[in-house]
Amino acid sequence: MSAALDAVRALKARWPGATDRATLDHPAVNVPASDLLAVLRSLKEEHGFDVLEDVSGVDWGVGSSPRFTVVYHVLSTTGHDYVRVAADCADAGAPEVPSAAALWPGADWHEREAYDMYGIRFTGHPDLRRILMWDGYPHFPLRKDFPLSGVPTELPDAEVVAETKTGAIAAPMAGGPFVASPGGINMTEAEPRAKDESWTERHPKPGT
Amino acid sequence: MVSANTDLTYNSKIEGDVIVSRADAVINWIRSSSMWPMPMGLACCAIELMAVAASRFDIARFGAEVMRFSPKQSDVMIVSGTVTYKMSSAVRRIYDQMAEPKWVIAMGACASTGGMYRSYAVLQGVDRILPVDVYVSGCPPRPEALLDALVKLQEKVKREPSASKLLSA
């Protein structure tokens, strides 16, 4: 019996809200956001899962309930096994989970990234700023209601904007996204090409 | 009678210490023969840029003697790589700190047009914030392509009316 399965069994016995999560690899468990920090602390301090590998977010789509889920992967360097912990955010409008940065300092930047991309607030985080997009960027780019090409936005530096009179634009997609799938063609000719080649920047999309 | 003079070059004993030429020719010769690059290496194109500077391709042969990491000491900014919107204001500010005259080479697909990054985060071509003189295609371009871009830029500089620009400035 692996350390991870033992740990998940112990977690489910101690927190009745914890349930099995569908998984194809490592043992996984869903926990309520209110129990999240206690579960992670127990994994770290009682079950030896000493490394936080990743914190990531999931957007299940506009109108889904729950809309946002936060997923943690923890690794035991002594048991050589992973456990996946997922917590749903109750409020789709202002998603919020407690921060794990006090348990693992490495959670700091992972949580900043999840905040930057999904707008999930980690309460108790020491420095919850954007990490990839610039401060003041008004959108959360990995949300399902955000278009792949982006939306027109002011650039952060007012002096540069005044000089160049430019800003972030919606990128021209020209039939993209671009794929390198060979399909029926010769692999040596399999350059990345647009999925929908019926239109380009010069010829508008049919039916629009 | 065939002249006995076999000198093929300038002979100061015969002609004195005076050379007659056009100001444009002299100024442009000086400028185009010592274009020091500002390496704005932002992504994988920067690896090819390093190859261009190293011994096999050796951009110093063409007068771009040495990469200068200070904008004050450089003449041509080689934007090699993906320019994100977050980085774009830094790129523009470094360009602003370069002394005139200055030129820009957009190296590779990303710097020229945004390349494959049709994305919310990537500047769709560095010509949206800088006046680009030469675009280099490729992802990344071969080092020879960048050498060709430098030669093309030198040809462009040699056509500039530098003297009248200096006098009117």
- Cross-chain residue pair A178–B128, CB shorter than 8 Å: no
Please indicate, yes or no, if residue B30 is contained in any of the structural domains.
no
- Which residues neighbour A3 within 8 Å (Cβ) at sequence distance 6 or greater? A47, A48, A76, A78, A79, A80, A81
| Res A170: pLDDT | 86
Residues in A closer than 8 angstroms to B122, CB to CB, are 171
- Cross-chain residue pair B129–A133, CB shorter than 8 Å: no
Same domain, A116 and A187: no
Same domain, A112 and A38: yes
Please indicate, yes or no, if residue A208 is contained in any of the structural domains.
no
CB A197 within 8 A of CB A173: no
CB A200 within 8 A of CB A174: yes
Please indicate, yes or no, if residue A137 is contained in any of the structural domains.
no
The verdict on A194 touching B (C-beta cutoff 8 Å) is no
The ipTM of this complex is 0.79
Please indicate, yes or no, if residue B29 is contained in any of the structural domains.
no
Q: How does strand A28-31 pair with strand A19-20?
A: antiparallel
Q: pLDDT tens across B46-57, in order?
A: 999 999 999 999
Distance from CA of B6 to the nearest CA of A (A): 57
Same domain, A117 and A174: no
The verdict on A168 touching B (C-beta cutoff 8 Å) is yes
Same domain, A101 and A195: no
CB-nearest to A178 from B88, B116, B128 is B116
Instruction: Please state the domain count of chain A.
Output: 2
Give pLDDT tens digits along chain A (208 positions): 588 888 899 988 999 888 999 999 999 999 999 999 999 999 999 999 999 999 999 999 898 889 999 999 999 999 899 999 999 998 888 999 999 999 999 999 999 999 999 999 999 999 999 999 998 899 999 999 998 888 999 988 889 999 888 888 888 877 766 676 656 667 666 666 777 777 777 777 777 6
Q: Last residue of some domain: A123, A140, A174?
A: A123
CB B129 within 8 A of CB B96: no
Please indicate, yes or no, if residue A57 is contained in any of the structural domains.
yes
- Can you give the residue range of the structural domain that contains A78? 3-123
- Cross-chain residue pair A133–B118, CB shorter than 8 Å: no
Please indicate, yes or no, if residue A49 is contained in any of the structural domains.
yes
The verdict on A180 touching B (C-beta cutoff 8 Å) is no
- Cross-chain residue pair B96–A166, CB shorter than 8 Å: no
Same domain, A51 and A94: yes
- Can you give the residue range of the structural domain that contains B110? 38-158
Residues in A closer than 8 angstroms to B93, CB to CB, are 157, 160
Instruction: Please state the domain count of chain B.
Output: 1
- Cross-chain residue pair B89–A173, CB shorter than 8 Å: no
Low-confidence ranges of chain B (pLDDT < 50): none
Same domain, A37 and A77: yes
The verdict on A124 touching B (C-beta cutoff 8 Å) is no
- Cross-chain residue pair A171–B119, CB shorter than 8 Å: yes
Q: CATH code at A43?
A: 3.30.460.80
Q: pLDDT tens across A107-148, in order?
A: 999 999 999 999 999 999 999 999 999 988 999 999 999 988
Please indicate, yes or no, if residue B97 is contained in any of the structural domains.
yes
CB A12 within 8 A of CB A18: yes
Best interface-test mutation with B: which of A145, A148, A160 has the largest number of B CBs within 10 A? Answer: A160
Distance from CA of A168 to the nearest CA of B (A): 7
Same domain, A113 and A47: yes
| Res A132: pLDDT | 93
CA B116, distance to chain mean position in Å, is 25
Same domain, A116 and A173: no
| Res A28: pLDDT | 93
CB A111 within 8 A of CB A125: yes
Same domain, A95 and A156: no
Query: Which of A108, A156, A160, A98 lies closest to A129 in space, CA to CA?
Result: A108
Residues in A closer than 8 angstroms to B116, CB to CB, are 178, 192
Q: CATH code at B84?
A: 3.40.50.12280
* Dihedral sign (CA A157, A151, A69, A54): negative
CB A115 within 8 A of CB A103: no
Q: Which residue of B has its CA nearest to A153?
A: B120
